[in-house]
Amino acid sequence: MATIIFLSLLATLYAATRSSKGLVDIMFIVTFILIVVLFLHHSTDTLNINL
């Protein structure tokens, strides 16, 4: 998932080179949500260790 998020960041930057609205806004929001999901996963996992 981390790889997908970095690819999504690249896609956001690519969209930014095309236009300042529309696709870049959607890609930004999608990437944001993916990061939040991954953060929640790693913050609530049940591993008994300190990150």
Q: In sequence order, what are the residues at sequence separation of 6 or more whose Cβ sits closer than 8 angstroms to the Cβ of residue 27?
A: 8, 11, 12, 15
* Ordered DSSP codes for 18-36: H-SSTHHHHHHHHHHHHHH
Check: CB of residue 31 under 8 Å from CB of residue 9: yes
Query: Rounded to the nearest whole angstrom, what is the least distance from the CB of residue 4 to another protein in the complex?
Result: 9
Instruction: Restricting to residues 1-51, name those near another protein by CB under 8 A.
Output: 1-3, 5-7, 9-10, 12-13, 16-17, 20, 24, 28, 31-32, 35-36, 38-39, 41-43, 45, 47, 49-51
Sites of contact with another protein (CB under 8 A): 1-3, 5-7, 9-10, 12-13, 16-17, 20, 24, 28, 31-32, 35-36, 38-39, 41-43, 45, 47, 49-51
